[in-house]
Amino acid sequence: MVNDQNKPAGPQPVNDQTAADAAPFDNAAEASLADSLGLSDDGTVDTGGGDTDARDLRIAELEEQMAQLKDQALRALADSENLRRRTDREKEQWRKFASADLAKDLLNAIDNLRRALDAVPQEREGLDDAVKNVIIGVEMTEKEVLSAFEKHQIKRIDPLGEKFDYNLHQAMFEVEDPSKAPGTVVQVLAPGYVLHDRLLRAAMVGVAKGGKPDDHERIDTTA
């Protein structure tokens, strides 16, 4: 057992060497704390004015870049929408007029069917049964083709008795007919056809002499 009588009474003196050794650690801790708190050497808060200006400048640059990118994105979106609408219009035009060339090629065939039927005698009682069946077949064929035309919005123009329209009719000759008003269609050599609002073929007609075509809104004849 240690004898307590040998311990000196009262506060013990601080060893100068020990205090000196501890000082660097205390100074380092204070410096680290000051940095974390943003304190300057004199103990005041360092606002970092230079760093703030640089940061604000960088923020402004980024905002400008963001505005430019937003503008580019909006322009790209508008271009894309315009392209979509234009493509839709072209698709609709193609859908409406895709059959124009085929219909044009079939017009002469339809004309020949009609000419064949017009050449048939009105009185068929004395005809052979085989001939009658052929006539019926030609009539049915014409009817089916015209029905298919109607289904695809191909309409027949048969303007007999109507006023001459230079948008839809082609005058082949004039006829002296005092019983008809001037410019009236008095004979149809070949009917015309229209696909939607586009003229496939003008009706070839004869008109009463002295006729003057009325003014009509022109229609698309570029089929």
Tokens representing 204 are 């070839």
| Residue 153 DSSP code | T
Neighbour-count burial of 158, counting CB atoms closer than 10 A to its CB (0-12 exposed, 13-18 middle, 19+ buried):
middle
| Tokens 């329209």 found at | 165
Contacts of 1 (CB under 8 A, 6+ apart): none
Q: What is the pLDDT of residue 223?
A: 47
Q: Is 117 helix (H, G, I), strand (E, B) or coil?
A: helix
pLDDT at residue 2, as a whole number = 45
DSSP structural state of residue 186: E
Query: Which residues contact residue 165 at a Cβ distance below 8 angstroms, ignoring those fewer than 6 apart?
Result: 159, 213, 214, 216
In order along its 223 residues, the chain shows pLDDT tens digits of 444 545 455 555 545 554 455 455 456 666 665 565 455 555 554 555 557 788 888 888 889 999 999 999 999 999 999 999 999 988 888 888 888 888 888 998 999 999 999 888 888 888 888 888 999 999 999 999 999 998 888 999 999 999 999 999 999 999 888 888 899 999 999 999 999 889 999 999 999 985 444 444 444 445 4
Q: Report whether 182 contacts 162 (CB < 8 A).
A: no
Helix residue spans in 42-181 (DSSP H): 49-97, 100-118, 129-151
Tokens of 82: 């315009």
The sign of the torsion formed by the CA atoms of 74, 79, 80, 82 equals positive
pTM for the model stands at 0.56
Per-residue model confidence (pLDDT) at position 192: 94
Please state which architecture CATH assigns to domain 100-208: Roll (2.30)
Segment holding 28, helix H or strand E: helix 16-37
Measured distance CA(46)–CA(52) in Å, rounded: 11
Are the CB atoms for 198 and 215 separated by under 8 Å? Answer: no
Q: Which of 124, 123, 144 is nearest to 133 (CA)?
A: 124
